[in-house]
Amino acid sequence: MSFFKKLFGSSDSNKDEEVVVEQNSSNKTQNNKNSIGRKPSFGRYTDMNKTKNQLEYWDKSIQLFKEKKYLDSFKAFIKYCGDEIENNYKLIDNGNEITFEFTQGSKVIKGKANNEKITAEASVVLMEKPSVPVMRKLMNINFALTYSHFSLKDNVVYLKFSSHSIDASPNKLYAAIKELATKADQQDDLLVSEFSAVNEINTDHIIKLSEQTIDVKYKFLTKWINETLTKIKGYDPIKDNGGISFLLLSLSYKIDYLLIPQGQLMDKLERIAHLFFAKTNESNQEKNNKIITEFEKIIASPKEKITEGFYNVKSTFALAKPANHKQLMDFIYGEINKAKWYTDNGFHDVTKSIYEYAVSFSFFNYGIIYSDAQLLDVYMTILNQDYYNDMGIERNYIDNNVLNQKNIKKDINLIVKNAKADFPFFNINVNNLKFTSVIDFGNSLFKEMDILDYRKQ
């Protein structure tokens, strides 16, 4: 056994067989791009909105585990995690053993289970020749992992989890599989970008975008960055540092929500967020300068390097933590209350950026109830109708710089109608909405959202 295999171990899972799998996808629907669906138009995957069936599978998984029916508990657990609309999992029942798959971004997690043991793994990268820097990096990451660990087999780096069935309660299993899935999805792109000794592996399942869609995303990425950097040049970097921060934060989170970048571009956006929110002794002005430099690096990158991160994926586990309705509204109001001074003093670009930041940051940082997400997506459409139009989502919320009351009210009423199936007291009085300006509309929409009734009975 090589030195590296002694350090990390080797993957001992048998090769997975090619099989035809029965999936619960009969209820999967494809929404028309111009319609209001259960999911908002853009943004990252959230597992906040579990269906009644999924929640019942969770309860069933816990009860079966207590009864020591471990294999049956695992079956129910997999059905809890699987999203029928996302079509992100496979489960094969072989009698005394099951095999399963979960899709998480650019990685597929494959596993097996019986009444004695459960294992899961994801192939992360291909490393044809042993590399000390790569292995050192993996060792450092290993120390931060709780349930999973890297292993090496046949020149492939795996992230792997295993447990005796008696120790694999649903709560532990969820934490373990989520850690494995999200870390594998995160690390493959980062390792490939950092080390020439490794290459991508098993990414055939990612969903390629058309050249037209990629061009639209690249066009708006460069447009938004250039426009924001130009606006910032008109502000005093010391006196107006707060307003500049909002312009930069709005830009960052808008890119994440609307363009949904993967890989290195996603990592750069996360770095920008860390630069601003990290607890350091740096002033706002110093943080702003660093963030501006990061955006200048993005805009200076070759187009082909940037667009490598424009593809679609399916996911099973969300990165954002679930948030209830009150948490969401408390955050939004906490942010938009900061806009009053900028509005009163004529900094209208900053005011708009604060409202956009409040909404786009919510999508990034919170797992949001689907009806809240739909309503916030309406507002994002109003703020960025040109992008929605170019992406084929023509809702026509603005005509000749005037808010189109008819179309906006129609879509909000449809959101209310769909939400009532789960929340019978859910209602928005569209006659209370203000259409005199984008900011007035935002204020009136948030006011109506703040009093939404999410009781189920």
Q: Which of 119, 129, 130, 109 is nearest to 7 (CA)?
A: 130
Q: Report pLDDT digits (tens) over 374-419.
A: 999 999 999 999 999 999 998 999 998 999 999 999 999 999 999 9
37 has pLDDT over 70: no
Sequence-separated (6 or more) residues with CB below 8 Å from residue 197: 127, 128, 129, 131, 133, 134
Residue 120 in contact with residue 110, Cβ under 8 Å? yes
pLDDT for residue 22 is more than 70: no
Q: Other C-beta atoms within 10 Å of 202: how many?
A: 17
Contact 356, 228 (CB under 8 A): no
Burial 420-432 (b: 16+ CB within 10 A, else e): eeebeebebebee
**Sorting pLDDT into bands at 50, 70 and 90, what band is 67?**
very high
CA-based R_g, the chain, Å: 24
Residue 33: pLDDT band (50, 70, 90) is low
**Beta strands 117-126 and 107-113: pairing type?**
antiparallel
Under CATH, to which class is 3-194 assigned?
Answer: alpha beta
Query: In sequence order, what are the beta bridge partners of 334?
Result: none
Least confident of 23-37, 107-121, 158-172: 23-37
pLDDT in tens, 179-213: 999 999 988 888 887 888 989 888 888 889 999 99
* Integer Cα distance of 160 and 151 in angstroms: 7
Over residues 134-183, the pLDDT tens digits come to 999 999 999 999 999 999 999 999 999 999 999 999 999 999 999 999 99
